[in-house]
Amino acid sequence: MSVSTSVPAGSNELRRGALSVGFIIFFVVSAASPLSVLAGGFPIGIMLGSGAGTPALLVIALLVLLAFAVGYTTMARHVTNAGGFYAFSSRGLGGLAGGAAGMLAMFAYNILQVGLYGMFGGVMAGTMSSVFAIDLPWWSYSLMAMVSVAILGYRNIDLSARVLSLIVVAEYLAILVLDIAILRSGGDSGVNFDSFKAEHVFSGNPSIGLLFCFAAFIGFEATTIYGEEAKNPQRAIPIATYVSVLLIGCFYAISIWSMVIGVGTDKIVPTLQALTDPTTFIYGLSDHYVGAHLTQVIRVLFVVSIYAGLLAFHNSAARYFYAIGRDGLLPKSLGLTHRIHQSPHMGSALQSLIAAVVVLIFAVMEADPILQLFAWFSSLATLCLLLLMALTSAAVLMYFKRNPQLKLGLLRRLILPGFSCAALGIVLVIAVIHFDVLTGSSKAISYALCAVIPAALIGGVLLAMRLRRKSPECFAKLGSHKL
């Protein structure tokens, strides 16, 4: 996974050839924050959703996202752009839709990043207090993390990639050790496949369980954002996308299945309900099946996993600022790269500023960093990204309809993108209906948060309309930057 410096210092381009397939995979897997999802998200999802049937729901989510990935990666061979969803929507659905998608994507990645600062600060404050008797406010840890993330985001992309690669490998190894220990021991009642039986899959609230499963994959879609910095992007991006979604999906499904076996199919939900804090569930399994030494490692990696997510989403947000600023929807200064590092340093700085302001506002309001800042913002970002994926599937359909000369097969240009568009649309509707469950807050607060999405879309359309009046030529080229 070597790096390249093929772009001369001082050029206004991202650092081409800087990322191999492996580094791109580390970025998107880190964004999915696998350990923090397994330890913090899925225990709640299992409890509120289908219980022991959750592994089967993960497989369903994986299949839908694989269908999405087919059209997504096929279009990525023809549109290589750091704008990702924005560029695809612009080329497939037109400039107005592209402006809406761009604004929504910038909003989604920024609030997801800010929400993760809340989780990081809350978890760090609790860990430092209980382990070292150091009592500092949660926001102080968030701000310390913010400084280091800002430095890494400002510098060469491969520096961030190296940091993330170490973190991801450690996360996977720790959980795989636990999975193997549970399966080798036979768990509570022997290794079985009860989780995949209909009686468990459709028990409880499968629609809510499915939402948590889709939320767990958020981050895998970021492969296209690194297209301009990839070695041989037409080959690297499709490979990275498929490997990432399969790696994330299979890892989650096997790990959750192992956890169910470890506690027992009929005992998993009562066990979680009996815990004061469901996020400690994985620690109890580790203590029982491996020992306290692995539990301590997992505790540390839980915090490190959140940090990895912070770094990955920071890079995603910065690249959206860069791509959209370069095209003229936002101030051109955001479309500048660092003269030495070829990093989107202006977008990186703006993202850090936004995060700092929001974190300090929540700190002044004495809000809960996890139950409010993280729960609200991460859930809202999930809605945004589901909508963006559905829009992108529609953009793929339209792009290939307008370009019949590409002579693609029916499966790649029509059937699978159409299926993923419909399936993701259905999941989005379910998510809106049950949004109060995702946020853990009242319906009034939940729907007030949802109202921000159409506001972001309208804002993006207005920016695109302004550009169309000011420069029709630039408007016609939205999302078409070529390597």
- Tens-place pLDDT, residues 214-241: 988 988 888 888 888 888 888 888 999 9
Residues of the chain with pLDDT under 50: 1-10, 483
Q: Is 213 exposed, middle or buried (0-12, 13-18, 19+ CB in 10 A)?
A: buried
Helices of type H across 77-205: 85-93, 95-132, 138-154, 157-185, 198-201
pLDDT of residue 23: 80
- Encoded tokens for 311: 């770094």
Compute, in degrees rounded to 10, the torsion defined by CA atoms 467, 473, 477, 481.
-100
Using the Cα atoms of residue 366, residue 370, residue 375 and residue 381 in order, give the sign of their dihedral: positive
The topology (CATH level 3) of 21-477 is Amino acid/polyamine transporter I (1.20.1740)
pLDDT of residue 7: 42
State the pLDDT at residue 2. 40
Residue in the structure block whose two tokens are 């492969």: 223
Paired tokens of 196: 């995949």
Q: What is the 3-state secondary structure (H, E, C) of 345-356?
A: HHHHHHHHHHHH
Q: Can you give the pLDDT at residue 165?
A: 75
State the Cα–Cα distance between residues 425 and 444, nearest whole angstrom: 23
Measure Cα distances from 402 to 74, 91, 376, 418 in Å. 15, 10, 39, 16
Phi/psi at 34 (nearest 5 deg)?
-55, -45
Say what the pLDDT of residue 312 is. Answer: 82
For the segment 3-25, what is each residue's pLDDT rounded down to a tens digit? 444 444 445 677 677 778 888 88
pLDDT of residue 161: 63
Q: How far apart are CA 147 and CA 127, in angstroms?
A: 20
Note whether 308 and 168 are within 8 A (CB).
yes
Half-sphere exposure of 375 (CA within 13 A, CB side): 19
pLDDT at 12: 66
Q: How far is the C-alpha of 297 from the C-alpha of 118, rounded, in Å?
A: 22
Question: Which residues fall within 8 angstroms of residue 237, CB to CB, at 6 or more apart?
Answer: 24, 73, 76, 77, 80, 223, 224, 226, 227, 230
Strand partners, 230: 19
Q: Tell me what pLDDT residue 3 has.
A: 41
pLDDT the model gives residue 438: 84
